[in-house]
Amino acid sequence: MIEIFGAGLVFICDEEFQILSNGGIAFESSKDSILRVGDYKSLCAEFKNAKKTFVPNGILLPTLINAHIHFEFGGHLAQFCYGDFGEWLDSLMANRDNVLKNDDFESIITQGIDEQIKAGVGSVGAISSYGDDMEILAHSPLRCVYFNEAIGSNPSAIDFLYANVLERLKNAKKLKSPTFTPALALHSPYSLHPIMAQKLVELCVSENLPLSAHFLESPQERQWLDGQDGYFQGFFKRLANIDNAKPFYTSQSFLEMLSPLSNALCLTHCLQITQKELDLCQNATLITCPRSNRLLNNAFLPFEILQNHPTAIGTDGKSSNNNVNLLDELRTALYAYPQADILELSKILLLSATLYGAKALGLNNGILAQNKNVDFAIFDFKEPLYHTNQTHQNQAPLHFILNANSPTHLYINAKAVI
């Protein structure tokens, strides 16, 4: 049977941010491929026997994509220190076990998943440091790119840590499905031995796995990679009793190591990135996590970068946020760039949560178009959001970010989740 869903406004989420009035999508029940996108009445005429749903005041758009989230830290409330990256990392190292060692671990992960679905998120880039959230995510309705994170700088522990990440990847591969993609993450240039990093990059190239890394997040990281001193000098002394530790990479050599990757490479945060470095990572999609960046580093990704380089958006984990609601994240971002035209910014942000999220994670969704996955949401409002400004531009993208709360319909993988 063919199903048609339509709404008063449809956000296609292509580069031009096309908006259809009274548009819709058609697909075959349980087949994860959009048949047609277009005018609702024309679709109904074409597929006469289809099952039809139309939401007059609704907005139909691709399910949102939370491109960077750590579900494992969902139990965190207020044990980590905010306002300075070094203080945050010290507090995380000191309290990590308490936060992770939670009797109710399973329900914490489930709550994080529910929070995604309730905010209209259909796909996530889940960074996992330990692997304990793997099964729950693989069996959840979410479409998940599951990044098994590698971390470790001490040469004597590398063999163990490398074997551990490979083991987690092997387990993730057993769970592979249309909605669960095994992948790898390199935690960051400051925390990862280059021998292990190099091997993992080669694995990603040969097996075509998505790769994610935290990159140039803090002034401390910049000072370490370029100046070889500052906070991380003390960090390695305290952590491993190393005198005169040296960074493993320069920012440039880290990017050069990633240059063979062509498929789904994401670099998260990048608050300190320069134009020269951006030129070196044309193969990557950036991911910004505005609230995490404000809390740990007192900064937002510069607007010029958001505007000129494809950038996805994520909530990061509760380890650096008050919740993992992507709509709240978009609202914060809307207020973070007062210099930008607010309607243009709204469109850029919605694309960061759809089109560019899909690019970052290597997914076949994030846009409403023929042959894309049947991943869509409808949000209903008590009145139409259509409103034009003096230049006759539809302000619905802005009003959507301000007012969207929870979808009335949510389909992932052609299945109704809400």
Show the binding pattern over residues 171-200: x = contacts ligand MCF (CB under 6 A), - = does not: ----------------x---x---------
* Cβ closest to Fe ion, residue 82 vs residue 386: 82
Shortest distance in whole angstroms from residue 7 CB to ligand MCF: 35
Give the binding range for ligand MCF (CB under 6 A) out of 33-41, 200-208, 317-325, 356-364: 317-325
Residues in the chain, overall count: 418
Give the tokens for residue 67: 């491109």
Q: What is the Cα–Cα distance from 260 to 99, expressed in whole angstroms?
A: 37
The residue at minimum Cβ distance from ligand MCF is 129
Site of tokens 């819709």: 24
Shortest distance in whole angstroms from residue 247 CB to ligand MCF: 14
Q: What is the Cα–Cα distance from 129 to 165, expressed in whole angstroms?
A: 9
Q: Which of 317, 362, 366, 407 binds ligand MCF (CB under 6 A)?
A: 317
Which of Fe ion, ligand MCF, none is residue 321 near (CB under 5 to 8 Å by kind)? none
Which of ligand MCF, Fe ion, none is residue 90 near (CB under 5 to 8 Å by kind)? none
Does residue 217 belong to the site contacting Fe ion (CB under 5 A)? Answer: no
Residue 191: partners with Cβ closer than 8 Å, 6 or more residues away? 151, 152, 153
Contacts with ligand MCF in 72-131 (CB under 6 A)? 73, 92, 127, 129
Asked if 413 and 180 count as a contact pair (C-beta separation under 8 A), the reply is: no
Which of ligand MCF, Fe ion, none is residue 359 near (CB under 5 to 8 Å by kind)? none
Which burial class, exposed, middle or buried, applies to 341 when counting CB atoms under 10 A from its CB (0-12, 13-18, 19+)?
Answer: exposed
Contacts with ligand MCF in 359-418 (CB under 6 A)? none
Distance linking the first and last C-alpha atoms of the chain: 20
The residue at minimum Cβ distance from Fe ion is 316
Which of Fe ion, ligand MCF, none is residue 319 near (CB under 5 to 8 Å by kind)? ligand MCF
CA distances from 277 to 195, 215, 256, 267, 301 (A): 22, 11, 10, 12, 14
Shortest distance in whole angstroms from residue 19 CB to Fe ion: 32
Shortest distance in whole angstroms from residue 300 CB to ligand MCF: 15
How many residues make contact with ligand MCF (CB under 6 A)?
Answer: 16
264: left (phi over 0), alpha (psi -120 to 50) or beta: left
Shortest distance in whole angstroms from residue 349 CB to ligand MCF: 19
Contacts with ligand MCF in 10-49 (CB under 6 A)? none
DSSP 192-252: B-HHHHHHHHHHHHHHT--EEEEES-SHHHHHHHHHS-SHHHHHHHHHH--TT---S--HH
Show the binding pattern over residues 256-285: x = contacts ligand MCF (CB under 6 A), - = does not: ------------------------------
Alpha helices (H) in 6-156, listed in sequence order: 40-46, 85-100, 105-118, 134-138
Q: What is the Cα–Cα distance from 11 to 61, expressed in whole angstroms?
A: 5
Closest by CA position to 151, among listed 68, 93, 80? 93
Shortest distance in whole angstroms from residue 156 CB to ligand MCF: 18
Contacts with Fe ion in 293-352 (CB under 5 A)? 316
Q: Is 282 strand, coil or helix?
A: coil
Contacts with Fe ion in 127-186 (CB under 5 A)? none
Does residue 149 belong to the site contacting ligand MCF (CB under 6 A)? Answer: yes
Shortest distance in whole angstroms from residue 73 CB to ligand MCF: 6
Which of Fe ion, ligand MCF, none is residue 320 near (CB under 5 to 8 Å by kind)? ligand MCF
Does residue 346 belong to the site contacting ligand MCF (CB under 6 A)? Answer: no
Q: What is the Cα–Cα distance from 164 to 172, expressed in whole angstroms?
A: 12
Shortest distance in whole angstroms from residue 317 CB to Fe ion: 6
Shortest distance in whole angstroms from residue 288 CB to Fe ion: 11
Asked if 74 and 126 count as a contact pair (C-beta separation under 8 A), the reply is: no
Residue 46: partners with Cβ closer than 8 Å, 6 or more residues away? 26, 36
- Applying CB under 6 A, the residues found at the interface with ligand MCF are 70, 73, 92, 127, 129, 149, 151, 187, 191, 214, 217, 292, 316-317, 319-320
Residues lying near Fe ion in the complex (CB under 5 A) are found at 316
